[in-house]
Amino acid sequence: MSFIEKLTQTIEKNQSLLCVGLDPNEKNLPEGDNIQEKLLLWAGNIISQTKGLVCCYKPNMAFFEQFGLEGLEALQVICRELIPAEIPVLLDAKRGDIGSTAEAYARACFDIYGADVVTLSPYLGYDAIKPFTDRADKAVFVLCQTSNPSAKEIQQHGIPALFEHVAKQSQHWGAAEQVGLVVGATQPEALKRVRELCPDAWILAPGVGAQGGNLRMALENGLRADGLGMIVPVSRSVMNAEDPKAAAEALRDEINRIRIDVQIKLLDAPKVSRFAELIEGLYDTGSVKFGEFILASGKKSPVYLDLRRLVSFPWLMKLAVEAYAERMHNTPCDLIAGVPYAALPIASVLASQAGIPMIYPRKEVKTHGTGQLVEGVFEAGQSVTVIEDVITSGGSLITAVESLRSLGLKVEHAIVLVDREQGGMEKLAQAGITAHPALKFSEILEHLLATKKIDKDQYTIVKDYLSHG
């Protein structure tokens, strides 16, 4: 059984998003001389009282390592024998290394201690994650925005902030069911942003209780519309309670009360695109216009996309390139080719950031100089991903692809910012090109209507045009 299957079954059975942490300290342990026996008695008591109230347990490895070999032996028994087999074990190990070292950590966490999911540091990149996600039945929670006060010194550095970059990258490290994120309940704005960037991901949100995180704010910002997607770990509030069962039950019930309220609000709220900032930027800069326009085909249109304007707004170009970059993970290639003219600056920035050489087909062949059909350095047989701004009929993109193919280049994929949903995708498919749009125009319309950028009449006119156009 996979981690996510075990988790969702336990959530349903116990009606709980509460995770109880197991962080032993000498002062919390019962009297006695044998440290291993003391640890097992202590953990056994907490588990026996709370096993019907939790969605998982989170032993913190450091708190067992401090007791040496006896502590680690106790941890093994706790994970494999004391925690019921049907309840997931979330090993809070915060490991992060590369190559054979990461593989050794994965074997230790999964095979020795019997963990279902492990916390990891993303600092070394995908190399540190892969040995763990190679186990199809296991999962990881990647440190994203942690709950400690000084986390912002590193995790909020840069534009976009480092934690945002981690959130985006994590989506390419495995399925949402296998790669979750650690985002502190003490950081509600970060929780909100991560949920926008990763709408399906599971979030582990420490910081409620002793660290002062606001439970309601955390749930409002971190939960998915289905009332799931978030685990709330609590350690000291349960471990140190005179009655751990009563403390856990009270927390579980409070989470559920808030969870119901949040779910109702989320279901009633208009759906917000994860590309909200990009969509609103396109509208605010006049890159998406509403009115009456003549297209290159000679047809009239109530909407016009002018992505040539992106070059005048660096912040918007950055957002657009990020949207393209997400699709690049599905289209490995030797070269990037920009379609003249609007897509050329986009392709240039994307190629520079991705470290992939760029070429571009000319609209008209020069009658002087080299007379090149395609500019740049390339060799026949190389794979090319084509970058286009908008798909309407797909004609200009097909023309560009034909030019590239005529020189022996392999072209099967194209990435576009916006699909106008007017049959271009189908024509491209017939030409052997799989297009990967970041946005469909219907998504842009829905968001602009929800945010009152356009009114219902404008929405209806464009919607009707697209459906009959």
pLDDT tens track for 268-311:
666 666 688 899 999 999 999 999 898 776 778 899 999 999 99
CA dist 167 → 142, 202, 223, 400 (Å): 9, 11, 16, 35
Q: Is pLDDT at 367 greater than 60 in this prediction?
A: no
What average pLDDT does the segment 112-134 reach? 95
The answer to whether residues 303 and 462 touch, using CB atoms and an 8 Å cutoff, is yes
* Calpha distance 309→284 (Å, rounded): 11
What average pLDDT does the segment 172-195 reach? 91
Name every residue whose Cβ is closer than 8 Å to that of residue 219 and which is 6 or more positions away in sequence.
230, 232, 255, 258, 259, 262
Q: Which of 104-108, 213-217, 292-296 has the least mean pLDDT?
A: 292-296
Active-site pick, 13, 51, 94, 271: 94
Summary mean pLDDT of the chain:
91
Q: Which two tokens stand for residue 11?
A: 């959530």
Looking at residue 363, its pLDDT comes to 76
The answer to whether residues 92 and 64 touch, using CB atoms and an 8 Å cutoff, is no
Banded pLDDT at 466 (limits 50, 70, 90): confident
Tokens 């109880």, residue located: 20
What average pLDDT does the segment 171-192 reach? 90
CA dist 165 → 65, 159, 177, 401 (Å): 32, 9, 19, 32
CA dist 150 → 4, 319, 355 (Å): 31, 28, 33
Backbone angles phi, psi at 228, to 5 degrees: -120, -165
The answer to whether residues 323 and 160 touch, using CB atoms and an 8 Å cutoff, is no
Packed helices 188-197 and 215-222: angle between N→C axes, nearest 10 degrees: 10
Looking at residue 268, its pLDDT comes to 67
Packed helices 276-284 and 441-450: angle between N→C axes, nearest 10 degrees: 80
What average pLDDT does the segment 383-398 reach? 91
Q: Which domains, ranges and CATH numbers included, belong to the chain?
A: 3-267 (3.20.20.70), 276-468 (3.40.50.2020)
User: In terms of pLDDT, which residue wins out, 130 or 197?
Assistant: 130
What average pLDDT does the segment 320-334 reach? 85
Q: Is pLDDT at 3 greater than 60 in this prediction?
A: yes
Percent above pLDDT 70 for the chain: 95
Sign for the CA dihedral angle at 447, 452, 454, 458 comes to positive
* Calpha distance 166→116 (Å, rounded): 22
Tokens 């976009």, residue located: 160
Pairing mode of beta strands 358-361, 230-234: unpaired
Q: Is pLDDT at 370 greater than 70 in this prediction?
A: no
The answer to whether residues 339 and 307 touch, using CB atoms and an 8 Å cutoff, is no
Write b or e for each residue in 170-184: b if 16 or more Cβ atoms lie within 10 A of its Cβ, otherwise e: bbebbebbbbbbbbb
* Calpha distance 389→387 (Å, rounded): 7
Task: Measure the CA angle with vertex 55, ends 49 and 60; round to 5°.
Answer: 80
Name every residue whose Cβ is closer than 8 Å to that of residue 467 and which is 6 or more positions away in sequence.
none
The pTM (predicted TM-score) of the whole model is: 0.68
DSSP string, 107-148: HIIIIIS--SEEEE--TT-GGGTHHHHTSTT-EEEEEEE-SS
The answer to whether residues 194 and 144 touch, using CB atoms and an 8 Å cutoff, is yes
Looking at residue 371, its pLDDT comes to 56
* Cα radius of gyration rounded to whole Å, the chain: 26
Banded pLDDT at 85 (limits 50, 70, 90): very high
Q: Is 94 among the catalytic positions?
A: yes
Please name which of 147, 165, 145, 140 lies closest in space to residue 155, comparing C-alpha atoms: 145
